[in-house]
A and B are shown apart, each in its own frame.
Chain A
Amino acid sequence: MTTALIAEDEPLLAQALKAELATACPDLEVVAIVGDGASAVQQSLALLPDVLFFDIRMPGQGGIEAAVELADEWPSTQPFPALVFVTAYDQYAVQAFEAQAVDYLLKPVQPARLQKTIAKVKALLASRSSDMQPTLDQLRQLLQPAAAQQALKVIQASVGNSIRMVPIEEVVVFEAADKYVRVLTADREYLIRTPLRDLLPQLDAQVFWQVHRGTVVRSTAIETVTRDEAGKMHLTLRGRSDRMPVSRLYAHLFKAM
């Protein structure tokens, strides 16, 4: 029996998709319906379904971000599920799906289109292996920041009542922390409110590498990258003791020459 998980925040739509799936593909069992990205990751890891239907816009974490997190946490012994994104109207995302050959459904879901998707999913499930590289490549492409913007020269961080101007050359790490982004320099730390995804297009991708969904590091500040027994990668920075996780998605950045 093939198992599926539906992540959709609108209850009627989740039920409707479940019903449509029951008609279109009777041997597919929906094992869980969740309403937000974080639960989607959690339930997927617990139930290890074969197919995922992820809505793009969900409270908390969207479908694409949830898929990325899941790819990071997914046990390496298991083949990664077939991924189908669902959206009502997201032109940019749909273009990206087309470009990356990622399967997607448009709401309201049309039975004919659902049939096609199921055929594709079945073909994929028949041939899938535990090699996650193709999935990782696709997801990384989906996460590509929109067009690069003008390069940021200085970070303006508020410290008490004043604004501290931190030249970008001094910044070593940007790290997402709750509602803020921590900006680390060699000897100081600042908090700013601009989200990492807004900062990324303004950073020079040659200089600053995203190594995790919440971490962007100055490449020349990295000292070592090590892989532990479980296959997880960590990096250390020059002159700092803390270890930072490297996401599977960005592991391709580190190869011995």
Chain B
Amino acid sequence: MTIDWVNKLQNLLQTMAFSLAIATLQYAFTPDRPYAPPVAYSLAIGITIWFVIDMGRHLFASARETGWPRGVPGVLLVVGGIVTGYFVGTVAGDWLCRTFGWYGNLPPPDRHYELRSSVLITVLAGLAGSLFFYAKTKGAYLERKMGEAREHANESRLKLLETQLEPHMLFNTLANLRALIGVDPARAQVMLDHMIAYLRATLNASRATSHPLQMEFDRLRDYLELMAIRMGPRLKYTLDLPADLAQHRVPALLLQPLVENSIQHGLEPKVGGGDIAVTASSEPGSLVLVVQDTGVGNTHTVTPAAPIVTPAKAGAQGGFGLTQIRERLATVYGDAASFSIAHSDQGTRAEIRLPP
């Protein structure tokens, strides 16, 4: 834990200003008595309370994140601070006044007579001060949390865009397009149309929440067509969507990362290439979406049983896409949807089950 000393100094100065204000108020009600004693008492009590509470709160584990202990300990800390402040501060104030002769020619205060008012002032001021600093700490904590959340959201949006508009894919596709324009302009036009649809869908996906399965499959076709032109005979694909499921709404581009993973980690590394099959089917109680490839079997996602020496390295990109799918399913369907992925020597099979 690190203690922010500038912040501590700030709190001390604010406490002193507050104490001074109280002393001034007290003096305003009894202008016939000297100003120095209430200032001495008020500052001594205020600084003691500040010290006990502001330093003491770091001793509590629950204060580590929010800056303030939660529940009973928090209340006890404030009460303890005020009680300590009253006794220690009163003795210190009295000592100061006697030593420096601030009582003047007046007799020292009658403890018994002033007890009630000074206790009242200490408790009220102590509570008000604590409340003020509590609100301040809490506000700073919430602001920090909000900043972190914003940063996280931005980062994940950027990452999503980066995986979708993967530069390697983009430049290779453009290179193919450039080559096609020379030899087969008609096919180049078709390829460009697929690319436009793919880019438009990708860039809109973060805004649209859901679309019909038909549209999902159309977008997959755009992507697979692009890849089929690039990979030539190394890629074969089938898309199977029964007509009665075509209008079923699903989160937009839910399957996209699975198909991209199949290409990138399954078929592209395989010398002979292979097949990708995307199917939708309805079973009693669920709608089943399957992406299956005959690739090398994605080694980028860690199977739990496998002894992996460097877990940090594994699944950097594939992992992000899959996490994204899990998060989206959880947000939309809660526990009603499931997602599983299995790798074998025959390839990879990913399955999503949605409520009908």
Contact = CB atoms under 8 A, between A and B. Distances in A.
Contacts of A19: 182
B97 interface: no
Interface in B140-178: 167-168, 170-172, 174-178
A57 interface: yes
Interface of B: 167-168, 170-172, 174-180, 182-183, 229-234, 268-271, 273, 299, 306-310, 313
Interface stretch (A67-75, A96-104, A137-145, A193-201): A193-201
A107 B268 contact: no
B168 A16 contact: no
A10 B309 contact: no
Contact of A199 (B174, B182, B309): B309
A10 B168 CA distance: 13
B4 to A, nearest CB: 31
Interface string A171-207: 0000000000000000000001110001100100000
Contact of B174 (A108, A192, A194): A108
A10 B269 contact: no
Given A12-B232, A192-B307, 9 more contacts: A12-B176, A16-B178, A60-B270, A88-B171, A108-B177, A108-B178, A158-B307, A193-B306, A199-B310
Nearest to B297: A179
A59 B307 contact: no
Interface residues of A, number: 33
Nearest to B191: A12
A145 to B, nearest CB: 12
B180 A12 contact: yes
Contacts of A107: 171-172, 174-175
Contacts of A89: 167-168, 170-172
A121 to B, nearest CB: 20
A158 B309 CA distance: 11
Given A59-B270, A59-B271, A60-B271, A12 B179 contact: yes
Nearest to B269: A59
Given A89-B167, A89-B168, A13 B313 contact: no
A136 to B, nearest CB: 27
B229 A163 contact: no
Contacts of B268: 9, 57, 59
Q: Considering the complex of A and B, which 6 residue pairs feature the smallest CB-CB distances, nearest first?
A: A16-B179, A88-B171, A108-B175, A107-B175, A89-B167, A11-B232
Nearest to A161: B305
Given A10-B172, A12-B230, A90-B168, A194 B309 contact: yes
Interface string A1-27: 000000001111101100100000000
27 contacts: A9-B231, A9-B234, A9-B268, A10-B175, A11-B233, A12-B232, A13-B179, A36-B271, A38-B271, A59-B271, A60-B269, A60-B270, A60-B271, A88-B171, A108-B175, A108-B179, A109-B175, A152-B309, A156-B307, A158-B307, A163-B307, A193-B299, A193-B307, A193-B308, A194-B309, A198-B313, A202-B310
A89 B23 CA distance: 71
Nearest to B171: A88
A13 B171 contact: no
Contacts of B231: 9-10
A125 interface: no
A157 interface: yes
Contact of B175 (A11, A13, A163, A192): A13
Interface in A143-175: 152, 155-158, 163
A88 B307 contact: no
Contact of A192 (B170, B172, B234, B309): B309
Nearest to A13: B175
A132 to B, nearest CB: 28
A59 B299 CA distance: 15
A152 B309 CA distance: 9
A113 B270 CA distance: 31
Contacts of A36: 271
Interface in A25-50: 35-36, 38
A107 B213 CA distance: 35
Contact of A194 (B175, B183, B310): B310
A156 B175 CA distance: 44
Interface string A87-130: 01110000000000000001111000000000000000000000
Nearest to A90: B168
